Chain A
Amino acid sequence: NAGVTQTPKFQVLKTGQSMTLQCAQDMNHEYMSWYRQDPGMGLRLIHYSVGAGITDQGEVPNGYNVSRSTTEDFPLRLLSAAPSQTSVYFCASSYTAVPRANSPLHFGNGTRLTVT
């Protein structure tokens, strides 16, 4: 049972480059989301999706795009990388859009991104 799988684990980009962080889950979860973790800031929500074809912005969406063409996949695109996007990115999914004990968020192992 793979759970939430993120690729790549590490990435270095130059300013202005674009790339896509991949996220896939095999739990048939409707809700998927992307967070970034920065020192002293906790985890902040970038974008989320409550089902295939539906996406919405979170707390810090600028500079990122998402799409949800299937239930399983939720890629995060960096359009033009900036040093401020250096961070650890986590994809998460849950059975329902409202987290609770019997439907908590399940996180992937993260992608560490450095933008120089």
Chain B
Amino acid sequence: DQQVKQNSPSLSVQEGRISILNCDYTNSMFDYFLWYKKYPAEGPTFLISISSIKDKNEDGRFTVFLNKSAKHLSLHIVPSQPGDSAVYFCAARTAGGTSYGKLTFGQGTILTVHP
């Protein structure tokens, strides 16, 4: 059972517009969420994160929003640039129990930004 889901396999946007990548989760034990970006033939790299006690975190062009009641988070990229074209993974950290600290990843969303 997929506890972290990225239901959009791909997203295409025009340069300069906003990109919104979505992620849903089912486990209430998740306490921290991270977004990773992955280029072809490279490993994922950390992009931005948010604690479950916050509802927004911003870093330059990237903002992550968390809606705990809906168990939903989203990554906003404004403005989108062609260099943002990559696969984006959402990951959730388990708060306690035997799986404390473990990351559960979503399936990834391929973002393509057209010039």
Contact = CB atoms under 8 A, between A and B. Distances in A.
Interface of A: 4, 35, 40-45, 58, 90, 92, 97-101, 104-110
A42 B89 contact: yes
Contacts of B44: 43, 90, 105, 107
B46 A4 contact: no
A100 B49 contact: yes
A4 B102 contact: no
B42, B101, B108, most chain A CB atoms within 10 A:
B101
Contacts of B41: 109-110
A109 B108 contact: no
B5 to A, nearest CB: 9
A109 B89 CA distance: 15
Contact of A110 (B43, B49, B102): B43
A99 B43 contact: no
A104 B43 contact: no
A44 B45 CA distance: 16
Contact of A104 (B4, B34, B102): B34
Contact of B107 (A4, A40, A100, A109): A40
Q: How large is the interface on B (under 10, 10 to 19, 20 to 34, 35 or more residues)?
A: 20 to 34
B45 A98 contact: no
A56 B62 CA distance: 35
Given A43-B105, A90-B44, A98 B100 contact: yes
B106 A99 contact: no
Nearest to B41: A109
B65 interface: no
B32 A100 contact: yes
Interface string B86-99: 00010101000000
A110 B89 CA distance: 16
